[in-house]
Structure formats: C-alpha cells, structure tokens
Structure 1
Amino acid sequence: MRAAVFTGHKRPLEVRDIDAPEPDPEGVVVETDVCGICRSDWHAWQGDPLWESRGLAEGHVLGHEPAGVVVDVGEAVEQVREGDRVTVPFNLGDGTCPSCRNGHSNLCDNRIPLGLTPESPGAFAEQFHVPWADFNVVPLPESVSSVAMAGLGCRFMTSFHALVHRAELTAGDWVAVHGCGGVGLSAVHIADALGAAVVAVDLFDEKLAVAAELGAVETVNASEVADVPEEIRAITDGGADVSVDALGIAETCQNSVHCLRKRGQHLQIGLTSSEEGGEVSLPTDLMVAKELQFVGTIGMPRPRYDEIFRLIRHGKIDPAAMVSETVSIEETGEKLASMTEFETVGIPVIDEF
C-alpha cells in the first residue's frame, strides 16, 4: 500500500509502498477514506516533547484523524464487521483499565496515540490498524460525511471535550480563544454554538476573518495591540470567563491566564514545542488572588461521540466548516511543513491516496 512515511525529524515525508497491516486478534484494518493533517503530527515530526514521538524511526506513518471502511477483522472481534464505515479516537484505549471503565478512555492507562508512537502506525496511508477494535471503533452515522469526520478529527473533538465536559461554561459567558488554527477555530465554533460570546486572537487577519465567520463576536490581532490580556479585559468588561490556549507557546498560555476575570477558567489544549520543553511559567500569585482555575484537557472519551453526532444531525455544529482544503497523499509532507510558519488555515484533509 502507499503511505507518506517519516524519514527523520524535520525531514520531508516520502510517499512509499509499504506492507499493508494485518489485524491482531482483537483489532481491525481500516481502508482510509480521509485523514486530517494535524499540528500534533507536526509536533511529532519536529521531535517536540509529545508522548513517545522522539523515538519514531524512519518509515513510521503519522496521521491520527481518519475515517474509512473496515476491510479486515481479527478473529476475536465481536462488534465490528467488514464494510462498516468508521472512525476512531486518536487516543486508543484498551477498554479495561480504571480510566476506561469510568468513562475517561482518553486517559487510558495503556493508551496508544494513533500514529504518534512507534508501536502504532497511523493513517497517512491507504490502510491503518486499530487495536481493541470493539472498544475503539466508532460507527459513523449516515449524516456525517467522511470529510466532516476528518474535520472532527482530534482538534474539534478535543475542543468539544474541553468546552463541554471540562469547563463550567454557560450561555452568555465570554470565551477568549488564543490561536486560530484548527483547534482554535473549532473552539470558536463550539463556544458560539453553546451560546458564549467569543473573542478570537491570532497574528493573521486571514485566520481572524475565518474565526468571525464561525461565530467570534470580536477579534484581536496580537501583533497590533500592546497588551493582549488588557485588550480582552476591555472588550469583555473585566475579563473572560473561560480562556483557551489553542497553540501551546508560552505567550499564548500566559496571555490566556492573564485575560481572565475573577474565578475564570483557563483551558490548556495546545501542546508546547521544543522551545518550552513541556513547561511554561505562570502567574501563580495572580491565580491565587483571583481564584483562577488551570484546566488541562486532551482528546475526548470514546463513549461521548454520540453527543457530537446529535448536534451535527440537528445542525447545531458543522465540523466540515473547519476543513479548509483537501489534498493528495503526495502533498502531505508539504502541508505538514507549512505549519512551521503557521501557513495553514483551518484543517487540511487528505482525500486522495
């Protein structure tokens, strides 16, 4: 099968013919229809402090935002059949650990991030393998197109989990979103659907324009104001109730905390780069004085996908609106590299393999 494979950190991906996967007894093989190209793939490609991605070997396949059709089923699989149209969460859980049993499979003790660890080749390929298929495979409703599912990917559903399950967001709250890449634009769209008033922050007017189309009532170009938190506090008459760092650099994380009103919540979705090394200094005295909350959030539990599907079916949210372009597998490396300079707008999706 054809795949865009890893050739080394920061080196171009190469399209090669590689062996197709075979299912283990509890796994399935899915023929890839679409796969989003995510900034988490970029972090792994860069060798940033993300899971075990620093140990990726040449020939590894990235890609963790797929949808496709099951083409081969392991002998112990009971609930998945060939021909099923499916997706999977990017954090694959075993379904048996305490976290999985308590509804938090995104935090599985034995989680395997699809495409982001050496033992789990991803979906920048014609086919990919899914372990523990009876637990991880998510059947796609007819109302959700493959492109929309790639738009859901990890970015949209991570933002959904953050705002719906992790934040104490209510209609009418002010939400600040720092960084309008795929995660940030998803957060803008979801917060708007939940009845919040959204302030979107970025360095690029093109991305801010998209944020406005997706529901942001105010936008701030961070390169044009002297103090981003002060600007947000002025717009919101005191500060945001919830603020999202959708990028992960020190500046956006710190701005997000500083822009909150008393008892506000900061949601950390963005992952750091090598420059931060996984750690960012924070104004802890301010957080104490204002009783601020710092909330980490990752992925979304497998059992809660139906919440998103219902909202799509009733026209409340539209993940396909996040998809900015579709590309071929030959263009995957170029799109991944363009994220270094933040050149992508929205979510690019591979739909030709």
Structure 2
Amino acid sequence: MAELTPEQRAAWAAGKLDVDAYNKNPNQLQEKLENNDLVPYGHTKIGPNHPYYEKAKKEWEEFKEAEREFLAIPILSSPTTSDDFRKLDLKLREIQIKAKPVLDEYISEDHRNFFESIIEEYSLMYFFDITKPTFGHDSTDWLVAGEHMEHLQPDELDEQIRIESLEQALQQYIPAREFIKVLSKARELELPMASECAYEYIQCKRAFMSGYFERFGLDTPIEEVFNYYSSNIFGHWMHGLSAEATTKWDAWSRQFFEARQRRAEWVITMCNSFIDIGISRGEEELHEEFEEENSSEYLDYGFVYMIRNGDLVKIGITGNLLRRLAQLQPDEVLNVVRCSNFQDLEKDLHNLFKQERVPQTEYFRLTEHQIDKVHKLMTTLAEF
C-alpha cells in the first residue's frame, strides 16, 4: 500500500478515498482528493458517507455565511498613540456601565454567567493577553496587566522579540468564529442592549487586535494566515509539512521577524499608556476620596462600607451612602455600618490590611477569610 499523507488518510477515513484504486494510480486520484466534499466536524473533517454529514454541512454553510457578514463589518480605527489607547479604554468603560442594567433583567443562569464574564472583560486590561508572546509569555501563561508593571523602555524587549515566534503569536489570535459565537449568545437573550453591548465590545477588541496584528508585517490578511496555519501547519509537524506549506510558513515567519521592532514599539506604547491611565484614574479617585473625607469631617456619624468590584475589595467612608454607591457602581455591597468613629475605623482597617492594598487606592486583594475578618471588625469596633 502506498503511504498516505495526513490529508489522504482523513479522506480515506471519511470514505472519500478508495485505497485500492489509489494504489494502482495515485496521480489519477489526486485532483479528486483535493476537491473532495469534506466539511469540519468537531476537530476533524467528514465526507458524504458519514451519518452526520448533512447536519455538519448545513452548520458549516450557515457559519460561513455568518463569517462573511461579520468580516464585512468595518473595524474601528486601531490604536496607535497613547491618546488612542486612552480613548479605547474610556469606550470600554462606557460599554461596561451601559451593560450592567442587563443583569437587572431575568435571564437564565447560563446566560447570566456568560454575560457577567463578558462584562468583566470590558477593560483594556483583558486585551493584554493577546500581546503576551511579545512580553515573553507562552500560550499557557496569563499576563496580569497592572500587577507590578513599570514604564517600559524601547530596549527592554529587544532580547524577547528576537526569539518571539509567529506560531506562538497566532495562538493568541481570536478568529471570526469566536466573535460570532459571542454575538449569537448575546442575541439569544432577546435583549437589544445585550446585543448592542456585545457588538460594541467586539468592535473595540477587533480594533485592538488589528493594531497588534498589523505589526506582524505579513503580506496576507491575518484571518487567512490563521486559517491556513490551523489547517496546514498546526499538528502537522510530526508528519512533515508539504512543500507549499513549508514555503508559505517560512515566508511569513521571515516577515514576522523583520517587523519585530514595529511590534515592540506598539506594545511599549500600549503598556505605558495603560499605566498612565491607571495613575490618572487613581488620582481622580483619590480626589473623590479627599472630597468625601472632607465633607464627612464634621459629621457626628458616617458610613464605613466594604464593596467588591471584580476581584478587588474597597473599604471606604462616606457621609452620603446612596450617592457614593451610585458613583462607584460596585458589583456587590459586602457590608455597611453607620457609626460615630467611622474615620478611625476606616484607618484601622486600612492599616491592618496594608500589605494587601493596591498602591494609591482604597482597593485591597483580600481572601474570603480576610473578608470575614473585616465583617467582624466592622461590627465589633464600630461605636454606635
């Protein structure tokens, strides 16, 4: 029996290749093999003899139509300057605020979990993972933006970008089909605001991706490169690449390498912009806290509150609880006490958990055990 390529073996398994006829005349069947009717099914492809072929073919045709419509949607201008990144961050914050009322509606637990996870990602910070190969992280690492980050200098990524690989970078690419799934899931809620927010979020993320992937220096659209990589490169190394795949991949890898400096400059601008945005936002928040504390200074009683936003916990004081909660829009109000020693109680709690405090803010990274401790202290130390 003549040796089969991985593609021929898949076609044979799907009933599209007569091995006996192939052994007699491999060349005669090559054209038929290349133009077969295989369609994706899970992580493989199936042909007309497969029992689920008609269903898989229909789903594939529907997806390709949705993909064509999706790729025709204009992408927002991709960020290049610090000001661009600031505007993108503000846009994401606006979407997040607009999206939260969706959770006030009744939706199934599955849809609620989905939409809560999407809302959490309405932040520039959650886009950072796309760029992590340029930072020296592989596909299994999380790049936690904002944690112990300092302003980067142009030469700090020199060593990493010399060894950064196109394959690693493509593994962070989000193909159209993943965005189509998000839009489809949002539409299932039958709430116009949910679909609108999901759509705007995807526009922002695609704009960010466009800015990064434009700096790969490739002569072919990134979606086409990703699809070719998925079909002809990924998982094929052990069997050997075809001559065509080898030529294409070598050319793209060279283009990617030669564009490394442009890519590093963009990532540095992004990183430093994010830090500046955080500093600016921290200063605004500190100004609000200062005004809040001053307005509470001469009150006999005030509120000490503990709220949760994402994985952060904020411990603060206010003289007007409803107004302050409306400003902060917390994910969860954990505890509130009204007492006469509210300022001293806040200071004591801040000092007790100073090691867990996010610098220059009233936010803390607390464990559930530590949160329980704050609950008890707020009750026992408050003077009513």
Q: Give the TM bin, normalised by the shorter chain.
A: under 0.3
* Structure whose residues are more often strand by fraction: 1
TM-score normalised to structure 1 length: 0.23
Which of the pair has the greater relative contact order for Cα pairs under 8 Å at 6+ separation? 1
* Structure whose residues are more often helix by fraction: 2
